[in-house]
Amino acid sequence: GESVGLHLPTLSVQEGDNSIINCAYSNSASDYFIWYKQESGKGPQFIIDIRSNMDKRQGQRVTVLLNKTVKHLSLQIAATQPGDSAVYFCADAGGGKLIFGQGTELSVKP
């Protein structure tokens, strides 16, 4: 079946550094992906999305890269801040479904 997986369960970075969170997916037909941020006690919050006709999309301090050849996407956070500490999920949102990976917990050290 379809699956979405993150490479590392935890990531610790220094405040001000850039963070990179990686995700692999299995369904080569997937055409829409979303990155979510989940803080403790809250529901997932939309960060940025990307469709398969693009390989890069930028938001405010965040960039998502999509490599369809190797079925891999990444979330880059520039100048990571303490408020970025959370669990990050990539989700396969193609075909009307919304399938989540296991998540990467990002910790930001002051």
Partner 1 sequence: EAGVAQSPRYKIIEKRQSVAFWCNPISGHATLYWYQQILGQGPKLLIQFQNNGVVDDSQLPKDRFSAERLKGVDSTLKIQPAKLEDSAVYLCASTFGLGTEAFFGQGTRLTVV
CA angle 68, 74, 77 (to 5 degrees): 150
CA distance 51 to 102: 21
Cα 19–76–36 angle (5° rounding)? 100
> Should residue 45 be labelled a site residue for partner 1 when binding is judged by CB under 8 A?
yes
Shortest CB 17 distance to partner 1, Å: 25
Q: Is 34 in the site for partner 1 (CB under 8 A)?
A: yes
Contact residue for partner 1 among 13, 22, 27, 32 (CB under 8 A): 32
Closer residue to partner 1, CB minimum distance, 16 or 95:
95
**Smallest gap, in angstroms, from Cβ of residue 2 to partner 1?**
11
Residue with tokens 């220094």: 14
